[in-house]
Amino acid sequence: MRFIYFDIDSLRPDHMSCYGYHRQTTPNIDKIAERGMKFNRCYAASSPCVPSRASFMSGRFGVNHGALTHWGPGYNFYYPEGDGHSAKYPFFTRYLREAGYKTVTFSSFGDRHHAWWYFAGWNEVHTHTLREGNENADEVNESVIPWLKAHGTEDNYFLHIQYWDPHTLYTCPKEYVEQWKESPVNAFPSEAIIREHQSDSFPRSASFLHTVDNIPPTMPRQINNRDDYKHLIDGYDGAISFMDEQIGHIVKTLESLGIEDEVCFIISADHAESLGEQGIYGEHASATEAVHHLPLIMSIPGVTKSSQEYDGFLYNVDVIATLADLVGLPIPSGWDGQSYVSTLKGEEQEGRPYLVMDHALYTCQRAVRDEKWYYIRTYHPGLYRFEDVTLYDMINDPNQTKNVAKAFPEIITLMNSRLAEWEQEHLGYPLNMVDPLQEVVKTGPWKYVTLESWIEHLNRSGWGNAAKELEAKFIKADELASAYGEV
């Protein structure tokens, strides 16, 4: 079998035309989806980039592989066998390679995030540039297409191609943004909600959209109104459209080789993106629906039928387990995923009854998602505006604008019970690793933007009151914790 896995950073399914988006952002992906199965409720077990791709490599949840943030405490990838490689906890890439598959990646992820474990098991690693994720999809294809022309007709390979285009700063050519000039954007957030967001003082808020100085014309400098919001969305959708066109070039290359109908396609993302939800714009900073809900399309010749859809819940680690099952490999006991091959074959299969997810880069949160409710427990809000307990009614409030936790104490009790059971399952045995989330809670999720630097930035920007609020909220608490030796 020939596998091509398109791994697209920051891609939201609801901004893809095959998922019902009103703009034709993904015509080439749509054609692939028409030949396979579209999963409507796939979620990242852990976000953002590092924990999600550590799950891709290891088949494990972040709580079990340990890399739940991007560096420092809570980042230590856990591989229990020491110098040897484990049969219980195999790297996905090593597992496929041992079964006779050539494993090849075109990705700058390991370079960008200094992730030693990402390089395990590949036959070939192509970083193609030294831009560490700031390259566009055409630059990736400059390396991928020659490889396909040389090796595409070989059998039994797993080719992983990563595109970064939907990640800010949306550096696609301007014509891909301008194509949406006459196209309206979704009604959320309204002018009234954007006005409310003007008072937020955290990174990637309406008033503090950027933490860098060189802003491309594809993005607004702030979100002051609906026009600015449209500017942001046009840039995001333009980046998706440009990336989709490059996928079309890959497909045309396969057509020229006469193997287009013989390739298994998987299209997904490491995480998605907040586009106004919780007042966050163009960032993946929380364990929320906007960040964790992923696209997943699988087209497997001889297995999937045309235009199938699946509405059950599943994790991204289930995708890895499914791929292993497709090539006839047993799912290792140390992996957290389960196979959905029977679903791909059109057989009845129940999805997971609910999902537990977490984030520890910008905030420290765990979330529980079921058919109706999205529950978030915030252990450390970082610089963001989150209450300790949040509950959203996803049926009546899909944009997550109202926390109804106080109105439904019985649902809070249920979600707390589910979360406690999940934590006990993964942390409640002797010799298990320390919860990496709590390692981040101890020091605070101050990675790309530190508490001290943001306070200084607020003061320089004339937001002195917001700076004082942060000082009162965190500085005294940190000093007290330090006095007791907890920091």
Q: What is the pLDDT of residues 72-117, one digit of tens each?
A: 999 999 887 677 788 899 999 999 999 999 999 999 888 887 888 8
Average pLDDT on 321-337 reads 97
Two tokens at 225?
A: 């109104």
Average pLDDT on 470-484 reads 66
- With bands split at pLDDT 50, 70 and 90, how would you rate the model's confidence at 156? very high
pLDDT, residue 128, reads 78
To 10 degrees, what angle do helices 49-58 and 316-326 make? 30
Give the CATH number of the domain where residue 183 resides: 3.40.720.10
Bond preceding residue 189 cis, omega within 30 of 0: yes
Two tokens at 12?
A: 């939201």
Domain boundary among 309, 325, 351: 351
Distance, in Å, from the CA atom of 151 to the CA atom of 129, rounded to the nearest integer, reads 21
In a domain, 476, yes or no: yes
Domain that holds residue 262: 2-351
Q: Each residue of 223-282: pLDDT tens digit?
A: 999 999 999 999 999 999 999 999 999 999 999 999 999 999 999 999 999 999 999 999
For the chain, what is the domain count? Answer: 2
Give pTM, 2 decimals. Answer: 0.95
Q: What is the mean pLDDT of the chain?
A: 94
Residue 264 in contact with residue 243, Cβ under 8 Å?
no
Average pLDDT on 139-145 reads 97
Shared domain for 155 and 45, answered yes or no, is: yes
In a domain, 393, yes or no: no
In a domain, 440, yes or no: no
pLDDT, residue 479, reads 54
Length of the chain (residues): 487
| pLDDT over threshold 50, residue 167 | yes
In a domain, 108, yes or no: yes
| pLDDT over threshold 60, residue 478 | no
Residue 356 in contact with residue 414, Cβ under 8 Å?
no
Domain boundary among 351, 366, 391: 351
In a domain, 24, yes or no: yes
| pLDDT over threshold 80, residue 425 | yes
Residue 435 in contact with residue 419, Cβ under 8 Å?
no
Cα-to-chain-centroid distance, residue 169: 16
**Which positions ≥6 away from 49 have C-beta within 8 Å?**
9, 70, 109, 113, 270, 271, 284
pLDDT, residue 476, reads 61
Q: 284: helix, coil or strand?
A: coil
Two tokens at 374?
A: 């999205």
Residue 338, classified by CB atoms within 10 Å of its CB into exposed (0-12), middle (13-18) or buried (19+), is middle
- Beta bridge partners, 298, equal 37, 266
